[in-house]
A and B are shown apart, each in its own frame.
Chain A
Amino acid sequence: MKTAVIQFPGSNCDQDAFHAFATVPGLPARMVWHKDESLGDAELVVLPGGFSFGDYLRCGAIARFSPIMRAVTGFAENGGVVLGICNGFQVLCEAGLLPGALIRNECLEFRCTTVELRVEEAGPFFNREKLGERLMIPVAHGEGNYLIDGEGLDSLRKNGQILFRYAARGSAADRRLENPNGSVDNIAGIRNRRGNVFGMMPHPERAVESFHPSRDGIPVLKAVLEAAKSGAGVGV
């Protein structure tokens, strides 16, 4: 599995993503600069976290027009598997490859913490049987408040497109604390309807080593690799 990690000016989780996809599973991966126009022979594309173009205008709004994004869009349209993490998720929403948008956290603060995620039933790769019921994964963002209109939300639910929710336990008051950003329906990650484009605010690439807060990112990365290997969106 050949992974391409896209680097935008201001990406800052690119090396972590590279490490998590290349070193940890020992698979070939390479960095692709945003000005490149081709993904080469990549079989999986990762848009990493960070602050592409300084988050100017809106998070991900400028990166969406980088030359490489035309290739990423074509890759996704052909069924290629794309994962966007944090800023990468924002870029995918801005590019229209995933529905909805990510706005300023409800609390107005940058949230840097490890959250508990509830795994949802979102198809053959992202489900409780594969990933377990709960995962502890770090988040670090100021604009992770996922927003979509009622009709869009119904469609996400109906089609099993919600990958993870911020785990809600206890009373309504506690529940609010555990959603770090005010996301609608506690959504932490989604996929497109076809099942080949994935976006999530938490950072699985920061949960792969023994010195990380957890190693729960490994099954998430495995799920993405498995989706890419099986050609998740091809011919659907």
Chain B
Amino acid sequence: MLEQQLVNGFTLGLIYALIAVGYTMVYGVIELINFAHGEIYMLGAFLTLSFISMGLPLPLAVLLAMLAAAAIGVLLDIIAYRPLREAPRLAALITAIGMSIFLQNLAMIIWGSRPLPFPKQALPAFFSEPALTFSDVTISWMQVIIYAVALLLMVGLNLIITRTRVGTAMRALAQNQTAAALMGINVNRVISFTFALGSAMGAMAGIMVSMYYNTMYPTMGYLAGVKAFAAAVLGGIGSVPGAMLGGVVLGIAETLGAGYVSSPYRDGVAYAVMILVIIFRPSGLLGRAVTEKA
């Protein structure tokens, strides 16, 4: 029983980690809580659905959805956030919430407010079958795929951040935007790249969740977004490995909390973790100590 809970919690945690990475990267470079990130996750699922219903094969649909989500993320930044770089931070945060609500309702208009199932016929039949079985623990193929994709994406992301020029530019921006600009870094382009990267990963998380639970609905990004944000805070906002760790820890904590403490308060675990971490250890598990810049 415990082992199965751990397996399920780990799956959920990887999903949170994929979303949390987007929050933490954007926060790292422009110090903005991108509230609309949860909506990108939701759009990933719905876009895949639409591409599949156009008759595209699954891998192509997923790839296109990720690209489209990345484009939406970049547009979001250019349209909504870029004009507010010099404005009070309150303004940017309110704008982010406004965009989140806007995108959520837009999805409701386009796809309707009722939950839709993931098109089963597009998925290979073996997805829902168990891949591995130890005594009483089963890991389905879907879970194996989530593990593989999530780990692949995270390793890839780490390589981008630590080994490429644009990754170096991102880290420079996170440290000091003015100094980075003086070194010849095109600040806006790097920020756009950050949004694209984070959005693509968030969309992938949305796609895999809609396959895993076989459902998608326009408000799914709200709760997932909040929890992923809690994960990012837990890991130390601004730290990419922290977001990954935070996601996994939160996923496991939530599943165990629901299983052993109180299942109605399942969603409360994320809120409680978020509040406690912010009050007692604002730098999170792996973050560096943050001081507010006025």
Q: Do A and B come from one complex?
A: no
